[in-house]
Structure 1
Amino acid sequence: MPLHPEIAKFLAAQPAPPAGPVDPAALRADEESHVPPLAERLPLHAVENTYADGVPVRIYTPDEAERHGLLLYFHGGAFFLGSLDTHDHLARSLAEATGLKVVSVGYRRAPEHAFPAGLDDCWTAVRRAAAARERLGWDGGTFAVAGDSSGGTFAAAVAARAHDEGWDLITHQVLYYPSLDLDFDEERYASLRENAVGNGLETAGLKPFNAFYVDSGADPADPRVSPAKRADLSGLPPALVVTAECDPLRDEGEAYGRRLADAGVEAKVRRYAGAGHGFVQHFSWLPEFQGVFTETRNFLRR
């Protein structure tokens, strides 16, 4: 199936990227300029900005209930883009759809902060949320990690670290079109060739966009950087892996889901037809994709 016509129309209207090296500051400024004003965002019972041992977090409470399950959310952006604000609408939608209290994490980004600063921040936020269970009103049930794109990388890596350290509170992992293998050899996955151009994220852009992270010390052979490199996936939390048909990263996410299942982990892989990378963040309003939040809710209620 080709790329959804609304996405294709949007991409066709975008100006050509500027020539020369990728400029993090310029791309961040452009991304932040599209964040809607607060008055236009989905209203929730409460939204609070605070810190988890120095890590900025934003806590979304969906309703007046005293206790909720928890979902720790890590935004995407190739490890150097994205923020609490650019993914505010996504966190709000998750809180509303799932009924969980969502804790969105403003981790440190490359290139200013070397690996593993961002990953460590995500881990810190998860551990701090557990320590603050009474303050957060955790109901003792769901304690999930989730992320989109590079945030999915962090979610998978955090789930693996928790398992390795014998820390068993994480009940689910939700990975939206995750970047799980930072070895971008086009021969590794067919989707890197099939979806190389014309769908938004392009295969040729993967190396330069992720170079800020890799050059900061993130070795693609390290399972903390590329969770697909982890040899043993047994014992990890149940996973929902959402992929996009027209995404270069599609096949690595689906392969990871199959490996989880082969290792005895409950894993659901869901491919959205006609979707491109980033569709949950940018195009979840389209009727064909609105079900992603309901699907997430149903998975987290198991």
Structure 2
Amino acid sequence: MALHPKIAEVLAALPAPPDGPLDPAALRAGEEAQVPPPAERLPVHAVEDATARTAHGDVPVRIYTPDAAPAHGLLVYIHGGAFFLGSLNTHDHIARSLARETGLKVVSVGYRLAPENAFPAGLTDCYGVVRWAAGDGAGLGWDGATLAVAGDSSGGTYAAAVTALARDDGFDRITHQVLYYPSLDLDFDTGRYASLRENAAGYGLETAGLAPFNAFYLDGGADPADPLVSPIKRADLAGLPPALIVTAEHDPLRDEGELYGARLKEAGVDATVSRYAGAGHGFVQHFSWLPEYHRAFEETRDFLKGR
């Protein structure tokens, strides 16, 4: 299927990227400038900024409560942004949609970003928040049942790595993982996956941009051969929690996400891979206002409820 016409229209109207090296501060400021004011955001019963007290330090979080029920399942959400972009604000609409659609209390993680913070600072923050959420479940109003981890793009990388850390630590409280077009192999050799060639240019995220965008993370000590950096390189995937992996037809990262799903199934993990036709990388963040892509939140709901 061709790229969705609305997506194609938006991409065609985007200005050309500036010449020269990437400037994290300028790119972050540009993203923050696009965030609508709170009064214009999707309504949620309650939204609260808080601090997660983890074993490795304090981590800012934003907690979204979907309704007035006394207890909820929990979903820890990890935003994307190539490990150096994104914030609680830029991905606020995803967290709100997840809370509204799933009925779970969402804890969004304001983890430390590259390049100011070297690997594994961001991953440590994400894992620490998951452990804090489980340990402080009473304070969060956790019902003790669902504890899901979800992330988009590089947030999906972290979500997959968090489930691996948990398994290795014997921490068995994570019940589900949801990975939206995850970056699971940070070796960007175009010979590795057909989608890196088929979707190389013209669909938003471009294959030629993967290395420079991820350089801020990799140059800070994240080794692409490390399974905590490239979760698809983990030899033993058995015992990981059930997974929903959402991929996009026109995404350079499509094939690694789908291969990871196949490998999870081979390891005996209940894994669902769902490819969205006509979509490119980032569609949950940028195009979930289109009904056919908002369906990703509905699919997440059904997956978490065991439908």
TM-score class normalised by the smaller sequence: over 0.9
- 1:130-157, Cα deviation, whole Å (9 max, x unpaired): 1111011111111000000000000000
- 1:1-302 maps to which residues of 2 (within 5 A)? 1-53=1-53, 54-302=58-306
Structure 2 unaligned segments of length 5 or more: list them: none
Whole-angstrom distance in 2 between the partners of 1:64 and 1:25: 39
What CA distance in whole angstroms lies between the structure 2 residues aligned with 1:199 and 1:291?
20
- Give TM-score scaled by structure 1 length: 0.99
- For residues 252-297 of structure 1, what are the alpha-carbon distances to aligned partners after superposition, in whole Å with 9 as ceiling and x for unaligned? 0000000000100000000000000000001011122121111000
Q: State the one-letter code of the partner of 2:183.
A: S
2:105 maps to amino acid: K
Give the match's secondary structure for 1:6: helix
Distance 1:44 1:174 in 2: 21
Question: What amino acid is the match of 1:238?
Answer: P
Amino acid at match of 1:42: L
Find the residue that maps to 1:288 and give its secondary structure: helix
Shift of 1:44: 1.1
DSSP-derived class of the 1:110 partner: coil
Q: Which runs of 5+ in 1 are unaligned?
A: none
Q: Give, as a single letter, the amino acid of the residue that structure 2 aligns with 1:69.
A: G
CA distance in 2, matches of 1:8, 1:200: 9
Q: Secondary structure at the match of 1:48?
A: strand
Deviates more, 1:224-233 or 1:287-296: 287-296
TM-score scaled by length of structure 2: 0.98
Query: Which stretches of structure 1, 4 residues or more, deviate above 3 A after TM superposition?
Result: none
> Partners of 1:49 and 1:215 in 2: how far apart?
31
| Partner Cα distance (1:61, 1:170) in 2 | 19
Partner SS state of residue 293, structure 2: coil
Q: What amino acid sits opposite 1:57 in the alignment?
A: V
Aligned Cα root-mean-square deviation (Å): 0.5
- Give the Cα separation in 2 of the matches to 1:113 and 1:93: 29
Q: Distance in 2 between matches of 1:50 and 1:12?
A: 39
Q: Which residue identity is paired with 2:35?
A: V
> Percent identity at matched positions?
75
Task: Give distance in 1, aligned partners of 2:295 and 2:103.
Answer: 15
1:208-230 CA deviation, whole Å, 9 max, x = no partner? 00000000000000000000010
